[in-house]
Amino acid sequence: MDKKLGNILIVDDDEDILLAAKMLLKRHAQKVIIEKNPKKIPFLLNHDSYDVILLDMNFVEDTTTGKEGIFWLKEIIQRDPQAVVIMITAYGGVELAVEALKEGATDFVLKPWQNEKLIATISAAAQLNSSRKEVTTLKQAKQTLVRDLEQPFGDMLGESAGMRNVKAIIQKVAKTDANVLILGENGTGKELVARALHKQSSRASKDFIGVDMGAIAETLFESELFGHKKGAFTDAKEDRIGRFEIANKGSLFLDEIGNLPLNLQAKLLAVLQNREVIPLGASRAVPIDIRLICATNMPIDDMIAQKEFRQDLLYRINTVEVYLPPLRERGEDIPLLARHFLQSYAKKYKRPEKKLSAAALTRLQQYHWPGNVRELQHAIERTVIMSDEALIQPDDFFFLSQKQSTEGDQLNTLNLDEMEKTVIEKALQKYNGNISKAARELGLTRASLYRRLEKYGI
């Protein structure tokens, strides 16, 4: 028999009613839970989720006014505004029914009930519940998609040997379903490559869903990726679908994969092997069909040697590897990128288009760009806003390293890590410890800056 009524909870202080309802409904429902004592309602709500709740209007303490029923109805709705509650009463005056409906009840049945009528009422309520769930799921999927669409995403520029190599790999693998791992420092264009892979793949008409593992609290990784059922943990107030499910049939981009803790690496590996996810608190697995693209700026081979990253997971995610060289190693791309950013920011800020003097260009090519293309982009953006001249001169650019030298506070090391640490400290000093401002100045995301603070113990 089709158990389409789902999970039903019945709360009534009349044991005969409870047993009769259970006998009748258990043939149509997946599970029927009965309870005599309404005070158990909070406990029951915390421990399971119900598609429909049948609630008596009158309990022994207050037999006719319906106040106790309304009180428990409010309790239920407060805990779960989506709950579908049908009130039962033998004293079902119209007024009481209307009051219950106003308080959020879905429907009303009178005792003694006709079996067919009761089933029809519950069936309609269960359908309403599943529509509500569907709407919530769609809303969540839409929010994620809108966020992704809002991300700036343009063409990938660059004619250096390094960039030509990157574009050639993209062309070869985009059409396959091979898992791709993109390696490169922050701001080198890893996300751009991931999007290009999706755009040129057979999944292009489906979704590209990105997850920045560096920006999610460790405790939320699992629910974010795999989803959860209501009640799976304290804050799980409603079902939530994970990014794997949202990306189904499309591409899933896991940025900063090096941040995934070891226990979750094992779970991710199982998902990739079995091609299905089990949301937290769920008993059934959901099949998934995604193309996985991962990226990291971390030295993944060192992490494997240190046993911080699983070798077997690396083999799963790096069928093809794409390496993005840092901008300082592809200086010939700088003029092209700089002109492109000059043009787009002039348009964005409605400023007349400026040109770069030869000296300014040389300066850009000599700088070491720790924040790579993102830093160049921000440097140009600032110049477009600040400079009034049509021809941009070297002094129109502000770099952290320039500031240091004019302050007589030069870096006395050529060790990249030490340089980076010093530059980060300077940026924090400049902005009185404001992470967002320092990150923006450095051309890093907040998450990347946090990781570096941890790395250097700042």
Ligand X SMILES: Nc1ncnc2c1ncn2[C@@H]1O[C@H](COP(=O)(O)OP(=O)(O)OP(=O)(O)O)[C@@H](O)[C@H]1O
Residue 374 contacts ligand X per CB under 6 A: yes
The residues near 403 (Cβ < 8 Å, ≥ 6 apart) are 426
Among left, alpha and beta (phi > 0; psi -120 to 50; other), residue 155 is beta
Is the CB of 34 or the CB of 303 nearer to ligand X? 303
CB of 83 to ligand X, least distance (A): 41
Residue number, 190 or 243, with CB nearest to ligand X? 190
CB 247, CB 241: distance < 8 Å: no
Look at residues 69, 60, 58 and name the one whose alpha carbon lies nearest to residue 99.
69
Main-chain dihedrals φ then ψ at residue 270, nearest 5 degrees:
-60, -40
Give the x-and-dash track for 279-298 against ligand X (CB under 6 A). ------------------x-
Residues in 338-357 at the binding interface with ligand X, rule: CB under 6 A: none
Interface residue with ligand X, options 25, 96, 192, 268 (CB under 6 A): 192
Q: How many C-beta atoms lie closer than 10 Å to residue 165's C-beta?
A: 14
Is 97 or 334 the residue whose CB approaches ligand X more closely?
A: 334
Q: CA 269, 454, 316 angle in degrees (round to 5)?
A: 15
How far is Cα 438 from Cα 452, in angstroms, rounded to an integer?
Answer: 12
Site string for ligand X, 150-169 (x = CB under 6 A): --x-x-xxx-----------
The greatest distance separating any two alpha carbons of the chain, rounded to the nearest whole angstrom, comes to 92
Residue 364: CB minimum distance to ligand X, A? 15
Instruction: Name the residue nearer to ligand X (CB basis): 121 or 296.
Output: 296
**Stretch binding ligand X (CB under 6 A), from 189-197, 230-238, 263-271, 350-358:** 189-197
Return the sign of the alpha-carbon dihedral for residues 92, 103, 56, 61.
negative
Among 17, 10, 92, which Cα is nearest to 57's?
A: 92
Closest by alpha carbon to 452, among 429, 435, 434, 432? Answer: 435
* 228/452 with CB nearer ligand X: 452
Is 189 one of the binding residues for ligand X (CB under 6 A)?
A: yes
Contact string (CB under 6 A) for ligand X, positions 211-250, x = contact: ----------------------------------------
Among candidates 457, 453, 451, which has minimal Cα distance to 299?
A: 451
Q: Exposed (0-12), middle (13-18) or buried (19+): which is 427, by Cβ within 10 Å?
A: buried
Cβ atoms 270, 226 nearer than 8 A: no
Asked if 326 touches ligand X (CB under 6 A), the answer is no
Q: Would you say 189 or 227 has its CB closer to ligand X? A: 189
Q: Is the peptide bond before 335 cis (omega within 30 degrees of 0)?
A: no
Residue 324 CB, nearest approach to ligand X (Å): 7
Of the listed pieces 75-83, 102-110, 167-175, 181-189, which binds ligand X according to CB under 6 A?
A: 181-189
191 near ligand X, judged by CB under 6 A: yes
Q: With contact defined as beta carbons under 8 Å apart, do 182 and 322 qualify?
A: yes
Distance of alpha carbon 256 from alpha carbon 128, whole angstroms: 40
In whole angstroms, the minimum distance from the beta carbon of 444 to ligand X comes to 6
Least distance between ligand X and beta carbon 346 (Å): 16
DSSP-derived secondary structure letter, 154: -
Q: Does 453 bind ligand X (CB under 6 A)?
A: no
Residue 325, interface with ligand X (CB under 6 A)? no
CB of 321 to ligand X, least distance (A): 15
**Nearer Cβ to ligand X, position 92 or 189?**
189
The Cα–Cα gap between 193 and 188 comes to 10
> Binding residue for ligand X (CB under 6 A) from 7, 140, 251, 445?
445
Q: Which is nearer to ligand X, 108 or 253 (CB)?
A: 253
Least distance in angstroms from the C-beta of 186 to ligand X: 4
In the complex, minimum distance from the CB of residue 388 to ligand X, in angstroms, rounded to a whole number: 26
Looking at beta carbons only, is 49 or 188 nearer to ligand X? 188
- Least distance between ligand X and beta carbon 184 (Å): 6
Integer Cα distance of 135 and 140 in angstroms: 9
Among 7, 89, 144, 186, binds ligand X (CB under 6 A): 186
CA dist 384 and 105 (Å) reads 59
Give residues in contact with ligand X (CB under 6 A).
152, 154, 156-158, 184, 186-192, 255, 297, 337, 373-374, 377, 445, 448
